[in-house]
Structure 1
Amino acid sequence: MPRRQPRRIAFSLVLLVLLVSCLASLASAEELTPEKRADIRALIEATDGAGAVRQKVNALGDQAALALRRKRPDTPERALELVRREVRAVLEEKLIGPGGLYDRLTPLYAKTFTHREIRELLAFYASPTGRKAVESMPGLSAESRAAAEALAREIAPELKRRIEAALTAEGLARPRQQ
């Protein structure tokens, strides 16, 4: 029995340390104040989140109208306008409005960045370099994707040959018939 007492004390101390460290980390977690929430929304706007969302919403409205036109070519233009309008309205409400995408992104930004960091990012995106980054990123991303896809196509044959050779060398694949 006397041997169990030190183990219990040690176990209790470990639990106490874990509990205190968990409580300390919870206490140090930054609160999502209305000011921080507003700054996060401003950051999303500054990085053209709204512009990208609106662009996608407009495209989806156009696609819905086009799909209707294909299905029913005799659809009046006014009906197509209404389809575009309603698709855009619903998507904008659900994405940008209360409870929408922005509200769902806010906690992600809040747990990733402190309020000070959010403000620093806002200052950056307000600068000429930040504005250039926002304007350039869609094109740069598209060009980067195209470059990566081209490289993947270039290296695919060599990659296939080397994998087949390695598998064959280990006796894990049959040699290719020429």
Structure 2
Amino acid sequence: MRHPMSGRLVRQLLLAAALSVPAAALLAPVAEAQTRPVPPAAAPAAKPSAAQLQLARDLVTANGESRAFDGVIPNIVDGAALSFLQTNPDLAKQLREVAVLVRPEFEKRQAEVIDILANSYATRFTEAELKEAIAFYRSSTGIKLVQDRPVIVQEAVQGIQAWGAQINAQAMERVRAEMKKRGVDL
């Protein structure tokens, strides 16, 4: 059974992920990324220290990643409640009310997302590296990057979508032309 909110949730999670990476990563050549083998992830270091974890939490706040996941929990809870609509369409109003009622219970768990992000950083960066990254994100350039990233990502996504549509149209024409050479009109 398809979850009624799954498309919305997936889009939000993708946007959150996009907001949490440097915009330059979005502009990497798509074709190369599709053909290049994915290197194995570096083995995480030993269990991070409490200091590393706190620095990583500070980094996740400074670089804006913690805000990128705001709204995910309400969408998950709403989606869970509304998933019962397919078999109980007459309960729509009550299901929405229940979702609103139980949301605060799960919103208390928002810090878990930050801890997950922080753990990923803390296992891969030393305390010194985390401090350097925090210093950058607290600098005027880092603050500007965090503030402008949503607009940059939105512009990049729109540009990449337009580019992809153009490539698709050109590829369709080339395929038609090649098929016509083989006696097939598409």
Q: Same fold (TM over 0.5)?
A: yes
Match of 2:57 among 31, 41, 45: 41
CA-CA distance at 1:140 after TM superposition: 1.4
Does the Cα contact within 8 Å between 1:39 and 1:119 map onto a contact in 2? yes
Distance 1:144 1:107 in 2: 29
Match of 1:145 among 157, 171, 176: 157
AA of the residue aligned to 1:176 = V
Per the alignment, do residues 85 and 53 of structure 1 end up closer, same or farther by CA in structure 2, a change over 3 Å counting?
farther
SS in 2 for 1:113: coil
Match of 2:137 among 94, 118, 125: 125
Kindly name which structure, 1 or 2, has the bigger radius of gyration based on alpha carbons: 1
Per the alignment, do residues 114 and 163 of structure 1 end up closer, same or farther by CA in structure 2, a change over 3 Å counting?
farther
Aligned to 1:159: 171
SS in 2 for 1:177: coil
Unaligned stretches of 5+ residues in structure 2: 1-42
CA-CA distance at 1:74 after TM superposition: 5.4
Does the Cα contact within 8 Å between 1:61 and 1:87 map onto a contact in 2? yes
Aligned to 1:10: none
Unaligned stretches of 5+ residues in structure 1: 1-25
Distance 2:180 2:78 in 1: 52
How high is the sequence identity, in percent, across the aligned residues? 23
Does the Cα contact within 8 Å between 1:30 and 1:114 map onto a contact in 2? no
Matched residue count: 140
- When normalised by structure 2's length, the TM-score is 0.57
